[in-house]
Amino acid sequence: MNKSAPAALSNLELLQKAAAQCGPFFTWVAIKDCIKDKKEFPEWIHGYLVGCADRMLSDRARLTRDVRQELPWIFGFSGIKGGLNPLQELLRETLKCGFARRFAHWILQGKKPDESLVKARRDIYGSEALVKFIHPRQKRNRKRKAAGEEQLKFSDKQLERDLEKEFQLKTLPRTREEWLPEIYRYLERLVPSDNH
């Protein structure tokens, strides 16, 4: 028996899936490709452009005092955080999740929270430069440096906020013993048990 392989998705189909998951950045990549290759827009791009036109001509857009504030909504970017590089944002989210998992690993290995944070940061980010890439908070540092102040040392505050978000906590536990039940809850959310 010869099973036929599933048909490969076309570039436009891949872009449609990426747009559905990551937002309209990939729709604009498809628009550019269609124009460059002199191809007709597929129905999903027509739908997107009609939606943009409807929002552009809506009362909300026409009656605003500053249309710049409405452009993210008009072009379908409402609720999308970050710049126009969804792959960079995906990398950031992947590294933040990996950092939380490595932190949990070190806690389960018997390390204290401070030591676990340092080890997880080293394991996932490797260097301060990658942490700063993932958490670009350099404007304030550049302003202070330009004002003649010493360069600030890197702070783990953002990494602690990432742990709060990933573990769904308002404040971080202080001891390993306080962390253990939170880590077990976190692991249960990651790998739900089959017992219903």
* pLDDT per residue as tens digits for the range 28-78: 999 999 999 999 999 999 999 999 999 999 999 999 999 888 999 999 987
Residues 104 and 101: their CA atoms lie apart, in Å, by 5
Beta carbons within 10 angstroms of residue 115's beta carbon: 14
Phi, psi of 102 (to 5 degrees): -70, -35
- Mean pLDDT to the nearest integer, 130-134: 65
Residue 131 has pLDDT above 60, yes or no: yes
Q: pTM for the whole thing?
A: 0.55
DSSP label of 194: S
- What residue ranges do the domains of the chain occupy? 11-74, 86-190
